[in-house]
Amino acid sequence: MIELLKHFIFSYNYFFLYYFLLIGSIYIVLSFLAFSNLKKYFNKRKYKDLKEVFRFKNYKSISLIVPAYNEGAGIISSVQALLQQEYPNFQIIVVNDGSTDQTLNILKENFNAVEIPILPFHKISTAKVNAVYLCKGYKNLIIVDKINGGKADAINAGIDISENELIVVVDADSILERDCLLKISYPFVEDENIAAVGGTVRIANGCELNKGFITKIGLSKSWLGKFQVVEYLRAFVFGRNGLESLNGILIVSGAFSCFRKDAIIEVGGFLKGCIGEDMEIIVRMHELLRKTNPASKISFVPDAICWTEAPENLEILKRQRKRWQKGTIVSLLLHKKLLLNPRYGYLGMLVFPYSVLFEMIGPLIEVFGYIIFIISLILGIVSFNFAAIFLGVAIFYGVILSLLSVIFEELTFRKYPLTEHLLEMFVFAILENLGYRQFTSLCRVVGTIEYFFGHTHWGVMEKKGFSQS
């Protein structure tokens, strides 16, 4: 029996090593795809005047939906900043999702809200809407007050009353650059097969803000904040970019994304009560839209940037990662028929299996692997040589990939003007592989366990707020 156990431990170590080799190699391939995609995008953008759509009047009308739950403290400055977006035809729909604070009253008072009758007409069903308000002096602002039904339900209520061609979903505490609507909506102008577009999310901790806009880009002062800067770079600069070239994007950020309204209605809107509603809807769009239109696409705009506050406290970070993991599991399990289904091309044959193996089950394999590895070392089951190779592969690949994402950032966006910021990101790109990555994997394992034992609630995300200049 002991021999059998030893044999299992020994074999698992090898399995774990190959697992790391495989995931690292996939990321390297993905980084090449991302680089080629980014190069193509920036070549195109260099001689593309996006504002030409204003001249030729072929822009799409946009409804910008802001779901708000207990956002009383910052909602006014957020809406005021959103109202200043450079775009000729957009409306903002703030959906108060049964807040228990003063969100609704603050909105009503500050924007001269006047109640209008609710139309007896629904494209998507939602929790009961209490009232709809138009705002005197703000032609393009609508406030919706509804019974609490969660983020997905609040977005659906916004979609339901929207009369525009595109739906942009923005978190109430997200900060958009002034030309974000123009950038994120442009792909729809050139391609009607695009069903959704995701923007890039960056960490705003350490940046300076004035009147709802970033005025000075900086790095967070905390270790956790800096780790997340590098982590987000990796996810957006080459994760999303690489997958876009395979039409394999499985998630657009819930903090900032854009959808063709008819596509979102065709698939039935966001899934009410779903934790990972931003991922679930994209996977569902792939599944349903490709049946009627095989050319249907999910796209990504790397320079439509939304800044958001990242947790700088381990407990909140843990809650966030557990929630993300539960969202991933829900989305993948609900649409398991995509798995290895050739009808969905690269998505079904490569991206979906990759997500199941490395995103859903991956954290379990990883954390279990670390435990087994430590036991093996203590019991002397694996040789010192193996241990050296194992650590080399596990950390080596991670470091290289994190460094590459910082390099891609420098070659393309150059958002961080100070060289010291760049070098600091480099240091944190190395350090994040020595504890932070393992910590987030552990959180995801806890998330997985909680999911299968029925704890599927959101968890509270406390935010510190930004520094105002």
Q: Residues touching another protein: how many (CB under 8 A)?
A: 50
* 120 binding another protein? (CB under 8 A): yes
Strand pairing of 90-97 and 138-146?
parallel
- Distance (Å, whole) CA 420 – CA 388: 32
Choose among 243, 87, 275, 288: nearest CA to 179: 87
Strand pairing of 467-468 and 208-210?
parallel
* 406 binding another protein? (CB under 8 A): yes
Give every strand in the sheet of 467-468, ordered side by side: 213-216, 208-210, 467-468
Closest approach of another protein to the CB of residue 241, in Å: 16
350/399 with CB nearer another protein: 399
Closest approach of another protein to the CB of residue 330, in Å: 30
Q: What is the dihedral of CA 218, 307, 177, 30, to 10 degrees?
A: 100
136/337 with CB nearer another protein: 136
Backbone angles phi, psi at 233, to 5 degrees: -60, -45
The helix/strand/coil state of 126 is coil
435: number of Cβ within 10 Å: 11
Closest approach of another protein to the CB of residue 55, in Å: 9
CA 7 to chain centroid: 41
121/453 with CB nearer another protein: 121
* 134 binding another protein? (CB under 8 A): yes
**Which of positions 191-210 make contact with another protein (CB under 8 A)?**
191-193
Closest approach of another protein to the CB of residue 141, in Å: 11
313/383 with CB nearer another protein: 383
Among 2, 4, 49, 380, binds another protein (CB under 8 A): 49
Q: Check if the beta carbon of residue 27 is closer than 8 Å to that of residue 401.
A: yes
Q: Check if the beta carbon of residue 308 is closer than 8 Å to that of residue 203.
A: yes
325/405 with CB nearer another protein: 405
- Distance (Å, whole) CA 20 – CA 30: 15
139/378 with CB nearer another protein: 139
Among 116-124, 147-155, 227-235, 348-356, the segment contacting another protein (CB under 8 A) = 116-124
* 385 binding another protein? (CB under 8 A): yes
Residue 211, classified by CB atoms within 10 Å of its CB into exposed (0-12), middle (13-18) or buried (19+), is exposed
Among 2, 3, 4, 117, binds another protein (CB under 8 A): 117
46/453 with CB nearer another protein: 46
Among 2, 3, 4, 44, binds another protein (CB under 8 A): 44
| Beta-ladder partners of 175 | 307
Among 139, 454, 460, 462, binds another protein (CB under 8 A): 139
Among 18, 216, 294, 434, binds another protein (CB under 8 A): 294
What CA–CA distances, in Å, run from 19 to 360, 369, 394, 400, 401? 14, 10, 9, 17, 16
* 43 binding another protein? (CB under 8 A): yes
* 188 binding another protein? (CB under 8 A): yes
Q: Which residues bind another protein (CB under 8 A)?
A: 40, 43-44, 46-47, 49, 52, 56-58, 114, 116-121, 134, 136-139, 188-193, 293-295, 384-385, 388, 392, 396, 399-400, 403-404, 406-407, 410-411, 414, 419, 422-423, 426, 430
